[in-house]
Structure 1
């Protein structure tokens, strides 16, 4: 629509100062002739726009003229530029429209707010798509220190507890930004030049170093997040397992298999049918072989599903029984 083009031209001139007619035409996907007609329409409407001839010419607004079409505060401007992932808009068929809307918003912002808004668009990302294997709710962590490091481009010293073995390790990191994935916050950073992902609720302590960040050239948060996300999503589909556990052993079982949980810990789970002293727990393992570790809780813990794991554990139990059938060691 012509009104959209006129607003786009006005906002681009407000942001850039002087812009060649050919560049305006390319951005708006129209001809140079159409751009010149639109400039005449702006001038007729009282906008102080003029053209400069010559090889270094273009279209410009009179110095000092601007119109604030937003009235946004600095924090409001920053919040608008915390980006949803590109996939979210592409899925809705709004990828190009979203990019166009951001350009218009950026142009409309008061000049002092633009650097912060631009920085927010490159340092914080919201990815609304669930992880393929499901999602475990996490408490909302304190993001203030990590956010400060991200927005001031400083290196971070992190003490981090890993989920796979519950061990804490220390890292010096070069952060790209923060990502919210279905309610869980992640820090995306390079560790010794290699991309890594850190779930914020597992950060035990953090400190900002008096050193500038050393990111790999040409990479932005969205690029590194996409690489890490695909690395996780490309893991083979996990094996989902349901076990039945005596309530008296639940605490010990959860301490050992906390990282294998497929959902929230069943702290107050009801009993199962005729056995109120037993509870069911859902787990996820990378493979059938990895799930055979559950045999260590036999005969107290029973695997209910899947059937193939029950058969595999029965076979392993038979092998163990055969091995220890004799009264003395050796073969």
Structure 2
């Protein structure tokens, strides 16, 4: 902990060369006495830093004394190589501390960049990235960092996994490519009997590395398999469904239906016509969440399926007879 604080102190001095004890104490979240002790320790170790007394005094780093902050530690490089993960996801991978140290080094370099002297704001002050889903459920049941450590050895895994249609997990042997995170959810990307699959970590109850190396398909990598599975999941489908939708719900439909929306056209006042693409007729049950704001127009099979589902819901919600 103290080593990280000393590094942070030096990076601050490199950016400013002179800084008051009070400001250092505030930035490091320690007392002024602790700052002075740290300065004494650095000076004793040969770092050209000292404290100046008096009204305009402070902590000073001699001109020309610079740290080579361009060289990041391997752990720091790993933290930066997974750009886009939020703090919670970095914590799960055990990279939160390394990411923070790397960010401080980068900030120190940016402080001496031309834009900084002109008072321009950095992008880090203007852009915030949060890859968690809205109203996200609790995270995965397995330890992501432990699983990532196991996957480094490129061995087969015996896992216990519950698919969405099963009540209990079942055992299977898979050949893992790695981990993926999307919209706040973690997935194990692996071949199951030679076919790429996504295994949601919240339904992965246990795993065991085997002695045999992972038998990965030739020419395939984590990125190529993930891309194929992602495209397969997001492919709109070939069943064309036409609906009437209240215009006030069009923005909501775009968020929920995404690429399934093929075409939108104006209709009656307050309504619009939306053409959707689904993989099958059964998928129209997704439209029930729009309640009385939607009407399925075609095909007849989709219209009939929505009628059946709505009738079943109405029966379930009847007031019990006294």
Q: Do both proteins adopt the same fold according to a TM-score greater than 0.5, normalized to the shorter chain?
A: no
What band does the TM-score fall into relative to the shorter chain?
A: 0.3 to 0.5
TM-score (norm 1): 0.42
By relative contact order (CA 8 Å, sep 6+), the higher-ranking structure is: 1
TM-score (norm 2): 0.43
